[in-house]
Each structure stands twice: as C-alpha cells, then as structure tokens.
Chain A
C-alpha cells in the first residue's frame, strides 16, 4: 500500500502540474480538495482520467468521486481494491 500511495502522489503531481509540491509534502490523509491540496472540479476530471488510464478503473458514477477522492490514502485503497492494470 505504501508503494502505491507514493506512486499515486507522483502521478497526481505530474498530471496536475503541481510544480512546487513534493510527494513527501502531501499528507496521506489530508483532503485533496478544499483545505488540503486545494484541488478543484477540473482536477477531479483529471483524476477520473488518471484512474482509468493508469489503473483501468472506470468511474461509472462520477458522484462517487467525492468519496473516492477524499484523500490519497482513500484513493489508494480504492485503486488497490478495484484496479485492472
């Protein structure tokens, strides 16, 4: 799981072009949206594309994004349980 969390942080930094953010500065349980990383709705779309492209997970119900994208750890657990790649 720790390896997947690190990989996911690196992917998010790359995809969302978070130039000044390092993997170690993203807390595993910090919120991705709002107070934490401060992501927005367009970033949510980017994360949906990332999930499908990298891990083969197609998010059929976008409304579930709020729950899945709660934090890096929650996202990694979801990927671990549902990945096809």
Chain B
C-alpha cells in the first residue's frame, strides 16, 4: 500500500518473446502476427550461447531464462546480484505436462527424473541463482497475472530500504498448445481478432544506484485488490506523491489492452476516469498475452524512456505520431478486474 520515496534504477533488460530475441528491434520494426491466436517465442540459436552438455537437460523456459539473465548481468556489469526474484504464472509448464502425461500413461514407477526436477515453479529462479553463484535472497512469485508486479514490488521495497543493492528480476512464462487450449476454453485467450497469446522471458537488473547507461528509474509500485474507484485514485495519488511527480508531468500511460473483450472492457471504463486526457500506450499487440506479460510492458516503457521517445505503433490512438522527449510513463494493469497495479517509471 505504501509508496517509498527512494528511487530504484533499471540498469539493463533483456527479453526473449514473440519479438526478435535479445534486441529492441520491436521499437523500429516489430513483428506482426495478424489473426494468429497462438504464437510461440522467437528463440535465438542456443548453440551459440550454451555448450552442448550445458543445455541438453534444460527445457525452453530455462534456456530462455538463463540466457536473458546472463545477458542482463553482462550488460549491467553485475556478475552476482544480491537477490534473484522471479515471476512466473505457470512455471515450467512444458515439463510439468510431460511429467504428468507420463504419470497418467505409465504410472508412478518409471517417471523421468529430469521432467520432475524441472516441473516446479521455482526451478527458474534456482537455476539462475546456481548459474550466477548467488547465495542471497531467492524468491519466486507464482500469482497468475500479478506475478510480475509482486516480484517487482518485493524487489523495489528491498532496494529502496537498503536491504539489498542489486537484484535480478525476471518474468518467465511459456505457453504449450495444451494450456493454450484450456485458457481458450475459459475465455482468457484466443477469442478476439488481433489478440494473441505470447511467451515471456524477461530479465532485468535493478539497483539502488544508477549507472551511466541505466534504462530508467523505477519510482514506485502500488497494488490494490478489488479496489473501488476512490481506492484506485488514492493509490495513484500515493504513487505520484511518493515520487514527487504530478499527473500533468506524466507523458503517457501504458496499459494491458490485449484485444480480449473480457480484459479490455475494464480499461475502457477505468482509464478515462483515472487518467483523463492522457495518451494511452499498449504493448500486448506486439508481445501477446500471458500471465507475466506486464513484465514486457514495463520493459517496453523502460526502453522508451531510455531512448527518450515513444514510437507511433505503441499508441492506442492510431492518429498519434512518435513522441519525443519522454520523461515519465505510468504503467497500469489489471488482472481479471480483481488485481490492479500502478507503476511509475521516469527517465534518468
């Protein structure tokens, strides 16, 4: 509930998603997927990054997490963060499915140990910590669509209170055909033209002190459960006050519009009231929907702040052109209209 006044810095961020991997090419030439409802991530050639024996036992989510983490650490020059905090809605769902399928098919006696080892949610965070030889704080948030915000708030609190100096924050989710089919049946995905499911592997290095090439400042995180309109307004006020920022200074608001009416209707009613006259930005039309997609929204806002410009294709209003000189981007997300989050990012 409380905003904290000490700033936190996003030093580096690396992603593997449905956009070109390990790059910010989506800023200039994003990949488009038309009416496809189900899109898998664009994987880099892992053989260029891992020795054959190193990666053979790892599922895709683990390879993606390890590679983005290593690159975020390299880009920030921090080889051993004080903490590793990971968000994942589904964990290693691919290996979980393989393990459970074998359990159903063959019983309990002859199960493959590798699938079992990699079928837990915290396999991701523990693998990163082992690889980085990080013996510090290690936590995994597996809270569906609020996983990333929980991980970010935890990290923000620890950094702003001086408990840690650096943290590797990740958002990692893969989407299997089977799970996509289940989510489609309950109306979470796959029911609207233009909305599609994606996959996420995002690793960001956060720190209490800036570097010359820091992407942006993280000013605060506010989360509300089943808020009234007034409670949301208060949360926004707390966030802005904590950052000593006025709403008029906010250049744009990044929201989680996905193309799914069950998700988007709430934005249509809340945004005009909470952010009157503010330009809205979106990111799920490029990165797709998934439980930890908000991580890619924050990443996209961070890149915009670093480059001091918002490309035209991020604006909800198609008439808007590119905006330059960007200083503050507010991030607003809701999950099933129950969990609402507000995050403020500012240029360094």
Contacts and interface: CB of A to CB of B under 8 A. Distances in A.
Do A and B come from the same complex?
yes
Nearest to A15: B112
Interface in B62-117: 106, 109-114, 117
Contact of A19 (B56, B109, B111, B114): B56
A18 interface: yes
B56 A17 contact: yes
Interface residues of A, number: 14
B53 A38 contact: yes
Contacts of A42: 57, 113-114, 117
A27 interface: no
A20 B52 contact: yes
Interface string A24-64: 00000000000000100010011001001100000000000
Contacts of B114: 42, 46
Contact of A45 (B53, B56, B109, B113): B113
Contacts of A53: 106, 110
B110 A17 contact: no
A49 B112 contact: yes
Contacts, number: 28
A32 to B, nearest CB: 13
B52 A52 contact: no
A24 B10 CA distance: 49
A53 B113 CA distance: 13
Interface string B34-61: 0000000000000000001100110000
Interface string B123-155: 000000000000000000000000000000000
B57 A17 contact: yes
A54 B64 CA distance: 32
Contacts of B57: 16-17, 42
17 contacts: A16-B56, A18-B52, A18-B56, A19-B52, A21-B52, A38-B53, A42-B57, A42-B113, A42-B114, A42-B117, A45-B113, A46-B112, A46-B113, A49-B111, A49-B112, A49-B113, A53-B106
Shortest beta-carbon contacts, A-B, top 5: A45-B113, A17-B56, A20-B52, A53-B110, A49-B110
